[in-house]
Amino acid sequence: MRFVAFVLIVLTWIACAATPASAITNGTADENAHPEVGALIGDAPNADGTWSYCTGTLISPTVFLTAAHCGEKGQKTARVSFAERYEPGAATYTGRYVPDPRYKKSGELHDMAVVVFDAPVPGIKPAVLPEPGLLDRIEEAGGMKKALFTSVGYGSQASIKKARGWRYRNTDTRHQARISFKDLSARWLDLAPKGPGDGSTCFGDSGGPNFLGGPDSHLLVATTIGGVDDACKLTNFDYRLDTATARRFLSRFVTLPGPSPL
């Protein structure tokens, strides 16, 4: 298996070998269910005319959490939209872009970054961050296999296998999908669609939230990082936010529930 980072693919056609499947199967428009979820907006449109390239979540009135691999080397600022569907001219917020200094492009660890705004984003309640070790306690109690998770993002809603590779459909629109638990490790929450009601995440959903609970949950426990297939049907790798290593970075910018990390 190989790791595929879910950044937006700028080219419409991508040549690759992967198992044919659908992306964001059974996903639905999020509408106003998660207004704290926003999109990173480029300075110019992508090849398909869309503008968003990654997803993230407001975790305090002035701090937006996303993935470090969404940024470019030396990037200093980033522009964020919280519109349900971004269109040119919609309100955006520009802030200081700060990746986790431990992150390296050659790996997936510490794949976190924040956008820090000079002033609070008005009218939006931030997501709730987990207490330390929350997912471990749920697993120890035997509840993880039955746990519900809701993924939200601005990424591709469909993929079609063509002779020249995969074609992805992007609309700059916030969507959500239910997804099932697969595995839990020291730093990763692995989620995968298992039943007819499940969906998935895909290119452009990087940095976006995975909420513990149903479609109305705002408890952010992991961020979308990537998957093992370009078809966006198999396992999603999501970076846990309840671990000591994640909390060490986040504590620089927000007040966390539970004891302060060392």
pLDDT digits (tens, 9 = 90+) for 98-127: 999 999 987 789 999 999 999 999 999 999
Please state, rounded to an integer, the average pLDDT across all residues of the chain. Answer: 86
Residue 258, domain member (yes or no):
no
The tokens of 158 are what? Answer: 């469909």
Look at residue 238 and tell me whether its pLDDT is greater than 50: yes
* pLDDT tens digits along 23-75: 344 589 998 999 999 999 999 998 889 999 999 999 999 999 999 999 999 99
Look at residue 168 and tell me whether its pLDDT is greater than 90: no
Residue 52, domain member (yes or no):
yes
Which of 115, 67, 129, 137 has the alpha carbon at shortest distance from 256?
A: 129
User: Which of 38-42, 101-105, 139-143, 169-173 is predicted with the least confidence, judged by mean pLDDT?
Assistant: 169-173
Determine the pLDDT at residue 121. 98
**Structural domain harbouring 198:** 4-250
Query: Residue 262 — very low, low, confident or very high, per pLDDT cuts 50/70/90?
Result: low
Look at residue 132 and tell me whether its pLDDT is greater than 70: yes
Determine the pLDDT at residue 2. 39
Residue 121, domain member (yes or no):
yes
Query: Residue 160 — very low, low, confident or very high, per pLDDT cuts 50/70/90?
Result: low
Look at residue 148 and tell me whether its pLDDT is greater than 60: yes
Look at residue 261 and tell me whether its pLDDT is greater than 80: no
Number of domains in the chain: 1
Query: Residue 164 — very low, low, confident or very high, per pLDDT cuts 50/70/90?
Result: low
Mean pLDDT of 187-208: 90
- Stronger pLDDT, 119 or 164, i.e. the higher one: 119
Q: How far is CA 4 from CA 20, 63, 73, 87, 134, in A?
A: 15, 26, 19, 28, 27
Mean pLDDT of 191-218: 92
Helices and strands per DSSP (H, E), number in the chain: 2, 17
- Stronger pLDDT, 235 or 91, i.e. the higher one: 91
Residue 256, domain member (yes or no):
no
Highest mean pLDDT pick, 3-7, 204-208, 224-228 = 204-208
Residue 18, domain member (yes or no):
yes
Mean pLDDT of 160-172: 68
Residue 75, domain member (yes or no):
yes
The tokens of 140 are what? Answer: 């120890």
Determine the pLDDT at residue 6. 60
Give the CATH number for residue 29. 2.40.10.120
Residue 59, domain member (yes or no):
yes
Residue 259, domain member (yes or no):
no
Look at residue 253 and tell me whether its pLDDT is greater than 90: yes
Mean pLDDT of 185-191: 96
**What are phi and psi for residue 135, nearest 5 degrees?**
-65, -35
Contact yes or no for 153/205 (Cβ under 8 A): yes
Q: How far is CA 9 from CA 45, 52, 169, 183, in A?
A: 12, 11, 10, 27
